[in-house]
Homo-oligomer: A and B are copies of this chain.
Amino acid sequence: MELGNGRLPSLLGKLKFPIVLEDVTAEEVAEAYNVIREATIDLVAPLATEDYVVQSCPEASPPKWHLAHTTWFFETLVLEPLLSGYEAVEPLYKMLFNSYYESVGHYFTRIHRGTLSRPTVAEVMFYREQVDKALLEWIRSIPADGWAEVVSLIGLGLQHEQQHQELLMMDILANFAANPMNPSYHTLLPEGSYNPVADIEWLSIPEGVVQIGYDGVGFAYDNELPCHGEYLSSAYIANRTVTNGEFLEFLNAGGYSAPLFWLSDGWRWVNEHGCHHPRYWRQVDGNWFEFTLFGLVPLKLDLPVSHVSFYEADAYARWKGLRLPTEAEWEWAAVNLPITLGGLLEYGNHRGSDESERQIDGNSRYSTDQGNNNAYTNGEGSKYGVDNNESNKHRGNIYRAGPVTGPPGALLHAIGGVWEWTRSPYIAYPGYHPPGGYLGEYNGKFMNAQYVLRGGCVATPVAHIRPTYRNFFQPESTWAFSGIRLARDES
């Protein structure tokens, strides 16, 4: 599946993880590198210097940490081991900007990242420039026998950078939301009109053995591998995600004070943290508001509920007498049913640029194996405050998932919009083996006590997501752009 042909570098379509790449040119690598690294800088452009420094909660990191850590990846994991004679810009950065790689050495305590005023933003920018310069020079002189390994690592570094682009948006939102000044990342856009939110439809999932996991020729993370058989019982999945208005019904029905709808751990979470609404909802004088990247705005009932925990998603589903889908159900539906796109982060578009229409195609396995039912429609997208149906411009705004509209019979906004909690714990696929060395720490060691989310969100770079992509968070996590799609058993 290819998303976003526009400014998307061709390299990304050729990456494969963890095996190596050969058929790309240095120019292709340099172009991809420049585009993606610049996109990161575009994202932080609206920030004041002070905004780069703070860490309002343990799960967030200061924006300048992301800028440095993504650079650290290229310096420590690519340049230092592979470029003979390379000298680190600042030796301490190896420790300071290591996130969690035990095989690389010690690292600074995560929860204290926000206590560090130095290096300054300017010093971090200098770090980025120095590493970029060294890498781009080097890339043009690599001998053929090392080429494949280098390019594969750079490609992984770029995927990694894209993950941090989404984290940047999550963290900026978390930081701003914790500030009584209610700062906004972006001014509220004028609102267009859009079609009504789609009615709920239950899309059928047939019983049988299906293939789950990535088997394409492009890039996928190790945790999407290997493609393997799973047995599905017959079930149904909802065509769209749950709206704010629907979730408000749960809240108003006393959902947050009814233990029987909650997992035991979830009920403890509710009580220990005094949860009684989604993380970014605020009630002021009886009216509901939502804190967003536009600042504090009235809660719009037709938008998908966002930033809910797995516990909240699960409790909501139980209250409805339903359940969350498994990740296999979700993946089958996303591959085999018509889908539309919600908003996604596209390079440039968050600055308001035009965007051409595009056609989404499945990857080879999907189209080959499943026949022609894979006719993705154009998504009407996330138009919260911005889109209109005529021009379909700005479809992919990255600030807030828009209302889920679209044609009948499709898995609407399956890709983009909000991440969708599944009921599947994040574990290894059968036959999974983590790669050796530090790469083995990338995903494998987190396969415990987390749940899989699928589909990407408005803050996910358009070229980064695919139907087999497995995101994962702890069940109490509300920090991602996470929402709810329901499923039900064959009754």
Contacts and interface: CB of A to CB of B under 8 A. Distances in A.
Contact of A53 (B50, B112, B440, B447): B50
A180 B427 contact: no
A207 to B, nearest CB: 8
A361 interface: no
Given A96-B180, A229-B231, A115 B55 contact: yes
A191 interface: no
Interface stretch (A31-39, A142-150, A241-249, A262-270): A262-270
A217 to B, nearest CB: 23
A175 B117 contact: yes
A200 interface: no
Interface stretch (A100-108, A278-286, A393-401, A408-416): A100-108
B48 A181 contact: no
Contacts of A197: none
Contact of A449 (B96, B178, B265): B265
A431 interface: yes
Contacts of A117: 48, 50-54, 175, 179, 183
B260 A103 contact: yes
A263 B179 contact: no
A343 interface: no
Interface string A45-69: 0001111111111000000100000
Nearest to A314: B448
B263 A448 contact: yes
A228 interface: yes
A267 to B, nearest CB: 7
A116 interface: yes
A102 to B, nearest CB: 4
Contacts of A54: 53, 114-117
Interface in A91-121: 92, 95-96, 100, 102-103, 108, 112, 114-121
Contacts of A115: 54-57, 114, 175, 178-179
Nearest to A431: B489
Interface residues of A, number: 69
Contacts of A56: 112, 115
Contacts of A95: 180
Contacts of A433: 489
A208 to B, nearest CB: 9
Contacts of A490: 431
Interface in A396-445: 423-425, 427-428, 430-431, 433, 440-441, 445
A362 interface: no
A220 to B, nearest CB: 19
A263 B445 contact: yes
Given A48-B118, A117-B48, A233-B430, A264 B53 contact: no
Nearest to A121: B50
Interface in A299-314: none
Interface in A127-185: 175, 178-181, 183
B430 A181 contact: no
Q: Among the interface residues A56, A179, A183, A228, which one has the most CB atoms of the partner chain B within 10 A? A: A179
Contacts of A108: 180
Contact of A260 (B260, B264, B428, B441): B441
A288 interface: no
Given A51-B117, A232-B430, A263-B448, 18 more contacts: A48-B117, A48-B118, A49-B121, A50-B118, A50-B121, A53-B117, A55-B115, A95-B180, A96-B181, A100-B264, A114-B115, A116-B179, A119-B181, A209-B231, A229-B233, A264-B448, A423-B428, A431-B489
19 contacts: A49-B49, A50-B50, A50-B53, A53-B54, A53-B117, A54-B116, A54-B117, A92-B181, A114-B115, A118-B183, A230-B231, A232-B430, A233-B431, A262-B445, A263-B448, A326-B430, A430-B489, A431-B490, A449-B475
